[in-house]
Structure 1
Amino acid sequence: MPIFGIGLHILVAVFFAIHAVRTGRELYWLFILFMFPLLGSIVYFAVVFLPHSRIERGARQAGAAIQKTLNPGRELREAQQAFDLTPTAHNQMQLAQALLAAGQVAQAVEQYDACLRGPFANDAEINLGAARAKLANGQPRPAIGLLVSLRATQPNFRPQEIGLLLASAYTAAGRKDEAGVEYEMLVQRFGSVEARAGLALWAIEQGQRPLAERELKELDHARKHMTRHTRGQHQDLFRRLDAARANFG
């Protein structure tokens, strides 16, 4: 039994060592894991493995959802209080984000516009948030301007998120062809569920049956192999796709 216990500790240490190598952790973790298999594994699990696991992310998301349910509007109230107390550019950006998250898009646009006139006018997060707020407020043209400029100046900043938002803005502005080109580019570059779903919905709307069927087939294949957790994350998107497919005939 002692031999089995020692062997189990080593197996656990080997598992975490493989995880450390694959995720590019510092080499001293290998020393800790193999010099102190039991204690090292416990420390690695608590410090590295758990904080980056799906369990931890799920717990944080669940906690945030419960917090919003029990205390709705807390983030907005705190952001407003912080800005009223100390009206810095950072606090104004936090207030704009909180307003947008609360669905108060017109007020969010006002705060973001003020940020764009301030010392952090070129900040990527502010420009992205401003574009998102303007699009939500029915202002796709200025949103497009912000996104195109942001992509030109900072091409490596959240490329897929900017592309998806830009495609939505093109669609809202009636620039359907440009929206299609954007979705095609996103599918080729990322091949994500969001990109393929956007292209499929665009193709259905434009009556491009072969393209729509191609993307729907790819999405059905991906959907079949998703975990329950991943399907839940895309639940609203799949609902929209199913409704569009039913109407597409």
Structure 2
Amino acid sequence: MQFFGIGIHVLIAVFFAIHVVRTGQNMYWLAILFMFPLLGSLVYGIAIYLPSTRIQYGAKKVISVAGKILDPNRELREAREAFNYTPTAQNQMRLAAALLAAGQSQDSAQNYEACLQGPFAGDPAIRLGAAQANFACQRYDACIDHLHTLRERTPNYAPEVVSLLMARTLAAAGKEQDARSEFEFALQKYGSFDARAEYAIWAIGIGDKETALRLKLDLDQTINRWNKHNIELNAVMLGRLKNAFSM
């Protein structure tokens, strides 16, 4: 079969050649594809292209979920063993993150704070982790201090994450007016699904139904356009929204 005088196997080879360039594959694939368009496309499709598609992604996701179900403490156990064997700052960071993921926020906060006393004190990822850990164990003043430091020293580092965490922390600390101002700032500045969702959850929680329902309407319109993959990626937030509006 031909299109505009070009064999379909050549068009497939061109498609795969574009994939080679865009994904940074070895350039010898270009020679193979253009010297042997039919056989080269078959080999490239099986060896490179298919493993990078959603089929491979889905398989990896299933394996990852299964692994967490069968051995939910594996990452924490391995992180702890690595730190005990080699107590470097990098291993302590890994341990702190694993502790936070496992719900052990007190220990996580202690490890993050220890990391900030060493050579990585200026690392914004560590400071954000420390803020998240302190939020999780209800040390709101410490969390706010870390977030202020992030904004002062590294204002371009994860600004939306910092803003939403600041808003949630101010709300948890009972500073409702400051929290509303921060939620409004995040909504106007970023306008993301997370910004609207966090604001809506907070608003319904304090009884501001007008704001909550306005945001919920907008969120529902977005959700209705999502495919299954988007819904899976946002499952945690969707669960929080459902719980907040079912009360």
Higher mean displacement: 38-47 or 146-155: 38-47
**Other-structure match for 1:100:** 100
Structure-2 change in CA distance of 1:16 and 1:199 (3 Å): farther
Structure-2 change in CA distance of 1:200 and 1:116 (3 Å): same
Structure-2 change in CA distance of 1:211 and 1:226 (3 Å): same
CA distance in 2 between partners of 1:91 and 1:12 (Å): 46
**SS of alignment partner, residue 72 of structure 1:** coil
Q: What aligned pairs does 1:62-101 form with structure 2 within 5 A after superposition?
A: 62-101=62-101
Structure-2 change in CA distance of 1:24 and 1:83 (3 Å): closer
1:156 matched to 2:156? yes
Query: What 5-or-longer segments of structure 2 have no aligned partner?
Result: none
Higher mean displacement: 238-247 or 150-159: 238-247
**Other-structure match for 2:133:** 133
Supply the AA of the counterpart residue of 2:173.
A
Does structure 1 conserve the Cα–Cα contact (< 8 Å) formed by 2:12 and 2:41? no
Structure-2 change in CA distance of 1:243 and 1:81 (3 Å): closer
**Other-structure match for 1:60:** 60
Q: What aligned pairs does 1:21-60 form with structure 2 within 5 A after superposition?
A: 37-38=37-38, 39=40, 43=44, 47=48, 50-51=51-52, 53-60=53-60
Identity %: 43
Structure-2 change in CA distance of 1:71 and 1:201 (3 Å): closer
Supply the AA of the counterpart residue of 2:220.
D
CA distance in 2 between partners of 1:225 and 1:178 (Å): 33
- CA displacement at 1:232 relative to structure 2: 2.7
Higher mean displacement: 186-195 or 215-224: 186-195
- CA displacement at 1:130 relative to structure 2: 0.7
CA distance in 1 between partners of 2:144 and 2:29 (Å): 48
Higher mean displacement: 220-229 or 54-63: 54-63
- CA displacement at 1:47 relative to structure 2: 4.8
Q: What aligned pairs does 1:233-244 form with structure 2 within 5 A after superposition?
A: 233-244=233-244
CA distance in 2 between partners of 1:80 and 1:69 (Å): 19
Does structure 2 conserve the Cα–Cα contact (< 8 Å) formed by 1:203 and 1:212? yes
- CA displacement at 1:238 relative to structure 2: 2.6
Structure-2 change in CA distance of 1:77 and 1:236 (3 Å): closer
Does structure 2 conserve the Cα–Cα contact (< 8 Å) formed by 1:164 and 1:195? yes
Q: Deviations over 1:218-249 (max 9, x none)?
A: 111111111122123323423333343344xx
CA distance in 2 between partners of 1:177 and 1:29 (Å): 61
**Other-structure match for 2:223:** 223
Question: TM-score scaled by structure 1?
Answer: 0.81
Does structure 2 conserve the Cα–Cα contact (< 8 Å) formed by 1:167 and 1:180? yes
- CA displacement at 1:204 relative to structure 2: 2.2
- CA displacement at 1:69 relative to structure 2: 1.5
- CA displacement at 1:31 relative to structure 2: 5.5
Higher mean displacement: 37-46 or 220-229: 37-46
Does structure 2 conserve the Cα–Cα contact (< 8 Å) formed by 1:20 and 1:29? no
Does structure 1 conserve the Cα–Cα contact (< 8 Å) formed by 2:50 and 2:56? no
Q: Deviations over 1:115-164 (max 9, x none)?
A: 11111111111111111111001111111111121122222222222222
- CA displacement at 1:214 relative to structure 2: 2.4
Q: What aligned pairs does 1:158-197 form with structure 2 within 5 A after superposition?
A: 158-197=158-197
CA RMSD of aligned residues (A): 3.1
Q: Deviations over 1:9-28 (max 9, x none)?
A: 2333444566678x6969x6
Does structure 1 conserve the Cα–Cα contact (< 8 Å) formed by 2:200 and 2:215? yes
Question: TM-score scaled by structure 2?
Answer: 0.82
CA distance in 2 between partners of 1:180 and 1:19 (Å): 46
Q: What aligned pairs does 1:8-27 form with structure 2 within 5 A after superposition?
A: 8-16=8-16
